[in-house]
Amino acid sequence: MKSKSSNEKGSILMTTLFTITILTMICATSLHVTSQNANATTQTASWQQALAGAEGAVDQAMAAMNSQSWAGWYTATGALPAGKPNSTNPVSASGPPASGSYNYYFPATLATSPVSGAANESGQTVASWVTVDKAGLPTKNGYQEYRIRATGVVGAPGPARVSNQKLDNQLRKISLRFDRFTGTAVSTPQAARRIEVIATPVTNSAFPRAITMQNWLSMNGTGSIIDSFDSNSPIYSNNGQYDPTPGRYKFNGDVGLISSEKGNNVSNLKDNVIRGSLQYSGPAVKNTGGVTGIVSSPFNTTLPAPSAPTGTFTPYNSNIENAVVVASGTSASNPTRLKITSNNGTFSLQQNFTITGPTPPPGQTAQDTYMEIWVPGNYNVTGNALVTQSSKVHVTWYVDGSISVAGNGYANQSGRAANVSFIAIGAGSITLSGNGDFIGTFYGPLRDVAFTGNGSLVGAVIGDNLTIGSNASIHYDEALANSGGNVTFSNYAYASWFEDNSDPVRNIVY
């Protein structure tokens, strides 16, 4: 038998060693890739959990702002900290933050510190905190906007090393050695994410559209126009007044009908011009060819029935000819209050009636003042009688009986619909007659409303049903939806939402 040479034995040995080396390298590479993938998986999971923690903290802040319950919150003065607020000697918050301060909160439903564990795909607990401050933001309709900044932090199990995927590293900024928000050293890797939200107040207006009716709308003429303008805009008004020039009026003269019929009466627009949208529930509204906006169904809203006013009212005799009353109330919540007691509570004017404010001291300008007038009977100003209301005076009329107003019988010298408001208590009628313009609003959800002349209502109307005779028009003042005593707070909503990806350690600051 022939034996193998030493050269052959050496070749076999080298081949074996080479094979073992290759297999070892394959195993090592596989282990490295597996380890990298596992590390990337844990970092990804932690990154997502950190976002969930931050979003949960934002929800906590929105809940506090909408409920105005700040239990568990603290307040501090100065600029917002880069990291977690200092909870040493905390001061409890009793309300929203003032200028130059901020409120902060540590959600009780989440852990207070991150914990890493190699046996888990992500950190086992989430640390989060949230701050609320004004941040120099403006008010909207008299209500403050706020900035919410929420941070979520989760431990990232595994070694402190970057992912083997470059795009992953650009997307997920894991704090391996230093906290990316504060620049301070961290003992274990962690994922930290921060959300910044601008919370804006949502307000409700008693007059969000030109016409709102419980039931039908009937337009008997063919020359009526329903449109809008904005007395607060120099573009869409003429010094605060309605201007029929094309380009000065707007197309938000909207109409809303909760039910388009009452009995056998179905709403009929007779193709009159409505520069806005029509929303209704019930049978199809007839002759809508003049509607420039969208015609849609259904429509629903709530029109609360007004009740008699409260507070202390001073009795007033309206039989005085050419009377002058002074509105000295300094706010809508603290007005001058008069109650008509003559003629069984009826305000039936035959002469002139002037509502003015106090005479300002020398060198000073008149201030806005407020008045409420309660008419337990009917309101009737027709013929040559005239109510004159000074430009700085805001008047709310509460009328239990019927209301009859001539457009040229009420001089609202401010030219702003928000300054004159008729609130009709209970059922009855509201009639606007004459060929002049009445600048103001009518709120009578149980009232039959009729416009009998060729004049215009500059403002808005709410009633049970509306009949527009002849060529009467309605010019809706959009300022009613945005300002004045007609606006009430509803809740806070998100105006903007973005993730703050600042990384001061790498000189990346937003």
Q: Tell me the DSSP string of 258-303.
A: SSSEETTEE-B-TT-EESS-EEE-SSPPB--TTB-S-EE-------
What total of structural domains would you count in the chain? 2
Q: Are residues 214 and 124 in the same domain?
A: no
Within a domain: residue 39?
A: no
| Summary count for the chain: helices (H), strands (E) | 2, 36
Task: For the beta carbon of residue 477, count every other beta carbon within 10 angstroms.
Answer: 29
Q: Which two tokens stand for residue 312?
A: 């202390």
- Integer Cα distance of 369 and 337 in angstroms: 12
pLDDT at 116 over 50: no
Can you tell me the mean pLDDT for 10-19?
79
**Beta bridge pairs of residue 443:** 423, 462
**Contact present, 345 and 317 (Cβ < 8 Å):** no
Cα 397 from chain centroid?
A: 28
Q: Which two tokens stand for residue 319?
A: 């039989």
Within a domain: residue 303?
A: yes
Q: Are residues 253 and 196 in the same domain?
A: no
Give residue 111's pLDDT: 45
Within a domain: residue 499?
A: no
What is the DSSP secondary-structure string of 307-334?
Answer: ----S--EEE-TTSTTEEEE--BSBTTB
Cα 312 from chain centroid?
A: 34
The listed range with the strongest mean pLDDT (121-125, 126-130, 213-217, 382-386) is 213-217
Residue from 430, 495, 494, 428 nearest 459 by CA: 430
* DSSP label of 82: S
pLDDT at 113 over 50: no
What is the DSSP secondary-structure string of 109-165?
Answer: TS-SS----TTSSS-S-EEEEEEEE-TTPPEETTEE-EEEEEEEEEE--S-S---S-
- Integer Cα distance of 145 and 381 in angstroms: 44
More confident residue, 112 or 206: 206
Within a domain: residue 261?
A: yes
Give residue 485's pLDDT: 54
Q: Are residues 376 and 417 in the same domain?
A: yes
pLDDT at 28 over 80: no
Within a domain: residue 357?
A: yes
- Whether the link from the prior residue into 85 is cis, omega within 30° of 0, is no
Q: What is the mean pLDDT of the chain?
A: 85
Q: Are residues 116 and 225 in the same domain?
A: no
Q: State which of 149, 180, 204 marks the end of a domain.
A: 204
- Integer Cα distance of 477 and 461 in angstroms: 11
Element (H, E) at 422: strand 420-424
Within a domain: residue 343?
A: yes
Q: Which two tokens stand for residue 327?
A: 């509105």
Q: Which two tokens stand for residue 434?
A: 């004459």
Q: Are residues 199 and 211 in the same domain?
A: no
Residue with tokens 């259904």: 298
Q: Are residues 327 and 235 in the same domain?
A: yes
Q: State which of 154, 176, 204 marks the end of a domain.
A: 204
Q: Are residues 377 and 276 in the same domain?
A: yes
Can you tell me the mean pLDDT for 206-212?
91
Helix or strand or coil: residue 77? Answer: strand
Q: Which residues contact 333 (CB under 8 A, 6 or more apart)?
A: none
Residue from 404, 469, 470 nearest 442 by CA: 404
pLDDT at 218 over 70: yes
Question: Which is it for the CA torsion 139, 81, 197, 71, positive or negative?
Answer: negative
What is the DSSP secondary-structure string of 426-437?
Answer: SSEEEEEESSSE
pLDDT at 221 over 60: yes
Q: Are residues 195 and 226 in the same domain?
A: no
88: pLDDT confidence band, cut at 50, 70 and 90?
Answer: confident
What digits encode the pLDDT tens for the residues 250-289?
999 999 999 998 888 899 999 999 999 999 999 999 999 9
Q: Range of 408's domain? A: 207-487
Give the burial string for 375-384 (b: 16+ CB within 10 Å, else e).
Answer: bbbbbbbbee
Can you tell me the mean pLDDT for 147-161?
81
Q: By percentage, how much of the chain surpasses pLDDT 90? A: 49
Q: Are residues 125 and 198 in the same domain?
A: yes
Q: Are residues 377 and 408 in the same domain?
A: yes
Q: Are residues 252 and 136 in the same domain?
A: no
Give residue 115's pLDDT: 41
Give residue 333's pLDDT: 81
- Integer Cα distance of 90 and 105 in angstroms: 11
Within a domain: residue 267?
A: yes
Strands 295-296 and 379-381: unpaired
More confident residue, 62 or 88: 62
The listed range with the strongest mean pLDDT (97-111, 121-135, 217-231) is 217-231
What digits encode the pLDDT tens for the residues 158-167?
766 666 666 6
Q: Which amino acid is at 223?
A: G
In a 13 Å sphere around the CA of 215, the CA atoms on its Cβ side amount to 16
Q: State which of 182, 204, 226 marks the end of a domain.
A: 204
Q: Are residues 434 and 453 in the same domain?
A: yes
pLDDT at 53 over 90: no
- Integer Cα distance of 117 and 156 in angstroms: 8
What digits encode the pLDDT tens for the residues 291-316?
999 898 888 888 989 999 988 999 99
Within a domain: residue 73?
A: yes
